[in-house]
Amino acid sequence: MQRPLIVALDVHQKEVRDRLLETFKHDSIYMKVGMELYYQEGPRIIEQLKKDGHHVFLDLKLHDIPNTVGRAMKVLSSLEVDLINVHAAGGRKMMEAALEGLEAGKPANAPRPKLIAVTQLTSTDQEMLTDELLIKEEIAHVVSTYAALAKKSGLDGVVSSALEVPLIHEVCGEDFLTVTPGIRRLSDAKGDQKRIVTPMKAKELGSWGIVVGRSITESIDPYQTYLEMKKEWEEGK
Ligand SMILES: O=c1ccn([C@@H]2O[C@H](COP(=O)(O)O)[C@@H](O)[C@H]2O)c(=O)[nH]1
């Protein structure tokens, strides 16, 4: 799927979620399943989304020792999701183990899920990076360095803010996938997100895909909001 708007299905109440999914039943879109939903529903939510014709990004952000991540990815690979992720902070060996696990666990003839690495969460700003995480470099430099490590480890792309996409492309090439959450229209509440941009700006900066959660799922008319944000993302205006 070319340059998707990925809807983050961070909705744990079944009735609310079913209503939301009902509104997308005539579309084949990209849905993101995160920790909240996966820990509640398990593999059956993936099966349901795929049965409904959607592409699936399983956003569990694995981060552990290489052996554990490799084995977990082997199990998750059987779900045949399109996109899955780890934290780049786990290091090169962990990312390589994740890739090997995905390859080993996928059903024969199925494509390997694309593997991307979270560089720095979009809820992190420079102050937090410096004062809490004790990383003294510029955030854009940290993001692009982690992206380069992900690329060296054989991954398909990264998660970052759209703000860092031009630098990531410079370092890792234009084909390296850049999936960017922290998307807000000017009127939207920021919530816990720090490095945010509008769908239009994300397009201008060259993101491969944008992730939108609460702006859509918590709006009065989620489907209409999805269509408006998708139009802005696709047309850049
Ligand atoms: O750096 C990251 C990595 C992942 N996310 C996830 O994206 C969505 C964003 O939701 P909003 O409601 O649009 O803020 C959410 O599921 C996060 O877990 C991220 O925001 N930043």
* Rounded Cα distance, 3 and 33, in Å: 18
Q: Is 87 part of any known ligand binding site?
A: no
- Residue-level pLDDT at 237: 85
Q: What is the pTM of this model?
A: 0.98
Least Cα distance to 174 among 197, 143, 205, 146 occurs for: 205
Dump pLDDT digits (tens) for 147-167. 999 999 999 999 999 999 999
Residue 1 pLDDT grade (very low, low, confident, very high; cuts 50, 70, 90):
confident
Ligand 1 mean position, distance from CA 37 (Å): 13
pLDDT exceeds 90 at position 134: yes
Average pLDDT in the chain: 97
Atom of ligand 1 nearest to the CA of 218: 12
Residue 2 has pLDDT above 90, yes or no: no
Residue 12 has pLDDT above 90, yes or no: no
CATH 1.10.1060.10 fits domain 5-235: no
- Domains of the chain: which residue ranges? 5-235
Residue 23 has pLDDT above 90, yes or no: yes
* Positions marked catalytic: 59, 61, 64
pLDDT in tens, 171-190: 999 999 999 999 999 999 99
Q: Residues lining ligand 1, judged by CB closer than 6 Å?
A: 8, 10, 34, 118, 121-122, 159, 181-182, 191, 193, 211-215
Contact predicate 232/27, CB 8 Å? no
Q: Is 3 annotated as a binding residue?
A: no
